[in-house]
Structure 1
């Protein structure tokens, strides 16, 4: 239910074109600065300088949009525009996004705040912003043709509403949505509880799951794709260039994960079990939380989970759909496991001396060999750890739990050194006996006799 202040502030027309006549003093003061970011590295959290205190989120390989205060209202400025995003070292994508980057900057505010968000359209077509999961007036909901007219190219609209609940939300266009979201237009909207003592954590990470279909050697996503994506991203970044989640041992840690891809993602974290504490519908009461080691994130949804970082080490975190931890994945490649390609290899090398036969014993050799690739393409399997190739890509990173990490330090501490006696090693001694199935028949356990 909306109160009188909300309805009067929003107005019957909903999101409105900015003009001095419509907005008076606000417009005459000019728009808030449209901050921009071109770095693909995780930026330091933006600590609050006014209003209730809160522990800011850290957007993995992203940043938080600054705001200004204007007569008690927090004002933000989003610019929808074409951007270039470094998905990984050696690969640039030509996308659409916000304020110089895809995904867009994180918006942070506090429950009870009134926000005014100016949206300037620098795209070649109209756009809107839908505030996914937020409770607000119908005219501010951002559905083109339903909530308000689409924002024409070169124009600025303003959205204004009160934040009446805390939680994790998203924003994205609801005008030519298929094209604009496929081009990378999306971001996260965090509303912190007005009571800092409610659901406190020491580290609060934010991940947006998104995906693209970009042919090797090209730059622009194929916007008509529905299922066969080949680049699975966290905040428009792919492994091995997704930053680690750096944590001080003993911290209470929250990971918020939103999904605006076209499939679900079972996010699995090694080394820990955790409890699901929030969905896009709100906070989960303590009595209703459940333990997990993997949490499935449905399409268009968010899940947040928390854990106490008591186990030091380097712990993998990734989507458990195996093709989603690969880069530039081709789905028409035949399987060569067990095939003898020696004769064929000799014939091909007469025409292409650099030809490397691969796949006869699996695909792990792709993580070790440097194969020729088209320009602006990354290897399918990539990344190196302290003991060799990680053979991963896409939706993969590492939770690095260390003792003595300062509260505001998110820099990579390097690889973990396993204490003596805690690392798997080669065995050269005598082996115990082991059992082996003799045939492929299904064996049915006999039912107990009636005599028991």
Structure 2
């Protein structure tokens, strides 16, 4: 799973993490660090630090970590704001704006106390900035166009320099034509590890952003004026079944960091486990103040992190618990026909449209296994197959796959879980118990 990243050798990064990189950008003048780019939509291997503080690097679902170089005591990164093409899942691409070839942009990782210098080059058709969401820094580095800095014009590069004063989980996004630029996919994660490598240590550390788009079937560009009726609810600009699973080894201590840059809250629910909420936007939750959950509501513009010990093997769903957020390409003007007798109307319609199929009179579950004609560049409302048939999900849904015997650095998909005999729900074929009528 080595990333397809362009570089020129200036980047200091994990050994092997940039193997197989290809050149994709011209050399930059005046000593700028290279701006790596990523075209792959699958999760790249965590970027193990080659020098400096030791930490467990994060794994970004369907994403990657931005390499850096050290220069004169500064950890230097280079972000490029630009139009990108993002595959939501097989069969649908979106024309978005993002950073370094992707939306969301690459995850930035550093360590508490690091001095960071971040170059931001604007290749958009309009001006932009970057706000470092949740960070403590000088006002002039906060990234609010017109208030704390000039907007970055197209074709120009600005520099942000500050010291990372606290560890935790943060985000980055524009504060310049924010409504359009965030609706087009401009956002990313910024993880700051503790200075003490033993503090808050886990075995596997996953990050992903929740974002949403309104893209009409057959089109490619989001409707940026939409406020409520989104039809693509995504994890890192991907929808199920295109979202990577969270692969962990049995008995691993696992952290999941979730950021929300949509227009609504998301109750993230994980099956098979209870977990501890260990971090918010404001910082780490003290051990005596942590609380147990099986669902954690992630407010708009906020981050939550939770941890659990992976003691239960299996394939465990993790998803937003708003039911419409686990569907793709929903049409919000569809009437409800549950309980309606559509036989007469179906017969009449089939005289004009022989292949017509009525939907919804018995619920929508049959759509999970139907292959119906659809416009180009869209997805079925529910899709994805498991070992027992259609999963009937989409949107903000994926799977935590807990397996025994995984290597520490193995994040590859192990396939579906092999359930031990006698542990799968089954059909009862014995006597049918009478149903007692109430009232």
TM-score class normalised by the smaller sequence: over 0.9
Q: How big is each residue's C-alpha offset from its partner over 1:2-41, in whole Å with a ceiling of 9 and x where there is no partner?
A: xxxxxxxxxxxxxxxxxxxxxxxxx975111100001100
Match of 2:418 in 1: 417
Residue 318 (structure 2) aligns with: 317
Q: Does 1:100 align with 2:101?
A: yes
Q: Show the 5 A alignment for 1:389-408.
A: 389-408=390-409
Residue number in structure 2 paired with 1:228: 229
Aligned length: 412
Q: How many angstroms apart in 2 are the aligned matches of 1:363 and 1:436?
A: 28
Shift, 1:436, TM fit? 4.5
Structure 1 counterpart of 2:153: 152
Tell me which residue corresponds to 2:431: 430
Tell me the distance in 2 between the aligned counterparts of 1:29 and 1:231: 41
2:365 matched to 1:364? yes
Q: Superposition pairs for residues 153-172 of structure 1, below 5 Å?
A: 153-172=154-173
Query: Which residue number corresponds to residue 140 of structure 1?
Result: 141
How far the C-alpha of 1:434 sits from its partner, in A, is 5.5
3-state secondary structure, aligned to 2:378: coil
* Alpha-carbon distance in 1 for matches of 2:406, 2:435: 45
Moved more, 308-317 or 338-347: 338-347
Separation of aligned partners in 2, 1:154 and 1:161: 23
Kindly state the Cα deviation for residue 432 of structure 1 after the two structures are TM-superposed.
4.6
- TM-score, normalised by the number of residues in structure 2: 0.93
Secondary structure of 1:142 counterpart:
coil
C-alpha distance in 1 between matches for 2:343 and 2:51: 69
Q: What residue in structure 1 maps to residue 123 of structure 2? A: 122
Which is worse superposed, 210-219 or 335-344?
335-344
User: Which residue is 1:20 aligned to?
Assistant: none
Distance 2:365 2:161 in 1: 52
Q: Distance in 2 between matches of 1:62 and 1:351?
A: 47
- Bigger drift between 156-165 and 423-432 goes to 423-432
User: Aligned equivalents of 1:222 and 1:394: distance in 2?
Assistant: 18
3-state SS of 1:180 partner: helix
Q: SS of the residue aligned with 2:338?
A: coil
Residue 351 (structure 1) shift:
2.0
Query: 1:248 aligns to what?
Result: 249
Q: Which residue of 1 aligns with 2:39?
A: 38
Deviations 1:219-260 (A, max 9, x none): 000000011110000000000110100010010000000000
**1-structure distance, mates of 2:79, 2:29:** 18
Deviates more, 1:155-164 or 1:425-434: 425-434
Tell me how far 1:402 sits from its aligned partner.
Answer: 0.5
- Tell me the CA shift for residue 433 of structure 1: 5.6
Distance 1:345 1:288, change over 3 A: same
Pairwise CA distance, 1:437: 3.1
Match of 2:23 in 1: none
Give the aligned CA root-mean-square deviation in angstroms. 1.1
Query: What is the TM-score with the length of structure 1 in the denominator?
Result: 0.90
Unaligned runs of 5+ in 2: 1-27
Moved more, 414-423 or 74-83: 414-423
Deviation, 1:354, is 1.9
Deviation at 1:347, TM superposition (A): 1.8
Helix, strand or coil for the counterpart of 2:239? Answer: coil
Paired position in structure 1 for 2:11:
none
Task: Say which SS state the counterpart of residue 347 (structure 1) adopts.
Answer: helix
Whole-Å separation in 1 of the counterparts to 2:398 and 2:332:
23
Q: Secondary structure at the match of 2:324?
A: helix
Structure 1 residues 236-275: aligned runs within 5 Å: 236-275=237-276
* Distance change in 2, residues 1:28/1:369 (3 Å): closer
Shift of 1:198: 0.2
Partner of 1:181: 182
Shift of 1:365: 0.6
In structure 2, C-alpha distance between the alignment counterparts of 1:343 and 1:314, rounded to whole Å:
44
2:376 counterpart of 1:340? no
State the alpha-carbon separation in 1 of the partners of residues 422 and 332 from structure 2: 42
Provide the secondary structure at the position in 2 that maps to 1:45. Answer: coil
**Distance in 2 of aligned mates of 1:436 and 1:124:** 67
CA distance in 2, matches of 1:122, 1:66: 20
Q: Name the structure 2 match of 1:352.
A: 353
Measured after TM superposition, the shift of residue 92 of structure 1 is 0.4
Q: What is the Cα deviation at residue 431 of structure 1?
A: 4.2
Q: Secondary structure at the match of 1:287?
A: helix
**Residues 435, 71 of structure 1: alpha-carbon distance in 2 compared, 3 angstrom cutoff:** farther
